[in-house]
Structure formats: structure tokens, C-alpha cells
Amino acid sequence: MEDKKKTLYLYEALELRSEYDARIKTLKDCLPESKQNRSRFSFGQDDGKYRASSDFDLASARKDLRKMELKRRKLNSAIQRANFNHCIDFDGEAVNLSEALETRKALNEQIGEFHNQVVSSSCQKVIYKEGRDIVEENEISYADAVKNLEQARLAFRELNRKLRLASFETSVDFQDE
């Protein structure tokens, strides 16, 4: 029988990594040293110990956990290699996916800062002193703050679309056993 090597795209690899994470969590939660199991099985302060169910093979579960953690590390490494090897065009220059992801994270933080600027510049502080109002001017005008926020949001949207498209085009060198 021929070994059919199916192309694994980046979006599929990311979904597979999430599945591995869920499997690892389930296996870890079943182990006796799991905090979740410790509180569930202890009936009093003196009991202290508990044992696995008769149809639960602890050694097999630990072995499966080690195998799953190793597969996850290999998959994560393959994802990172793909992120470094594939480039997209952003703001007129070629950046690899890893840099693009960092840029997206920075843009998202910047959007939060610009949001705060818009909110704070939407009103002015007025101090009533000696029978007259003293108005403190904002550091940045409302119109400029809105413009900055809109530019950041559009850049984020453009980058996000390019990253999503790249996840469907980029193949990951990993074969799930």
C-alpha cells in the first residue's frame, strides 16, 4: 500500500495543535497527581490516597501523554518553521509570518491605546475658578484621535486577512501518525 502524504496546511496544523492540547489536558486531568482528581477523590483529611478506576491503565495513560506531548512539540516546531519560511507583503515589504504575527499583536495593542485616546479626547476638562470656566485642551484632538484609530484598525484588518490567506497557502512539514 502506498504511503499517501497529504499536504498539511497551516490552518490545519493550528487546528491539530489545539486538538493535541485538548487531548493532553484530558490525559493530565485523569492522572492521580492532578489537582482536580485530588479534590474529587479525597473524602476527608485522613484519607489522603486514592486509586485509579479498574478499567483505567495509569501506565498506558502516562505513555500516551508522553507521546502526545512529543507530537505536539514536533508539530509546534513545524509550525514555527513554516512561519519563518513563508513571507507576505505588508506595507510594501516582505515579512515572514512570525514577524507579521508580532506586528498584528502590536497593532492590536495600539488599537487599544488609540481607543483610549478617542475616549479621552471626546470631552474636555472644565474647571470653574473665580467666576469663569477654564478649559484644559486635550493633548490630541478628537478628529486626529479618530483618524489614528481608523488607520490602525484598517492596517490590522489588512494584515489579518493576509495572515488568514497565508494559513491556507502555507504547507507545514508534519505528518500526523
Specify the higher pLDDT residue, 6 or 96.
Answer: 96
Grid coordinates given for 102: 508580532
Grid coordinates given for 152: 490602525
pLDDT tier at 38 (50, 70, 90 boundaries)?
low
pTM beyond 0.85, yes or no: no
Render pLDDT for 110-123 as a digit per residue (tens, 0 to 9).
Answer: 999 999 999 989 88
- Cα gap 146→69, rounded to integer Å: 46
Grid coordinates given for 175: 505528518
152 neighbors 110 (Cβ within 8 angstroms): yes
Query: What pLDDT sits at residue 1?
Result: 41
Q: Is the pLDDT of residue 15 over 50?
A: yes
The length of the chain is 177
Q: Which residues, at least 6 apart from 171, have a Cβ–Cβ distance to it below 8 Å?
A: 7, 8, 9, 10, 82
27 neighbors 63 (Cβ within 8 angstroms): no
Boundaries of every domain in the chain: 8-85, 89-168
Share of the chain above pLDDT 70, in %: 87
Query: What pLDDT sits at residue 41?
Result: 52
Distances, alpha carbon 105 to alpha carbons 8, 9, 145, in Å:
25, 22, 20
The 3-class secondary structure across the chain, one letter per residue, is: CCCCCCCEEHHHHHHHHHHHHHHHHHHHHHCCCCHHHHHHHCCCCCCCCCCCCCCCCHHHHHHHHHHHHHHHHHHHHHHHHHHHHCEEEECCEEEEHHHHHHHHHHHHHHHHHHHHHHHHHCCCEEEEECCEEEEECCCCCHHHHHHHHHHHHHHHHHHHHHHHHHHHHCEECCCCC
- Cα gap 109→103, rounded to integer Å: 10
Grid coordinates given for 110: 495600539
Render pLDDT for 137-165 as a digit per residue (tens, 0 to 9).
Answer: 888 899 999 999 999 999 999 999 999 99
165 neighbors 97 (Cβ within 8 angstroms): no
Average pLDDT over residues 2-29: 89
Render pLDDT for 61-84 as a digit per residue (tens, 0 to 9).
Answer: 999 999 999 999 999 999 999 999
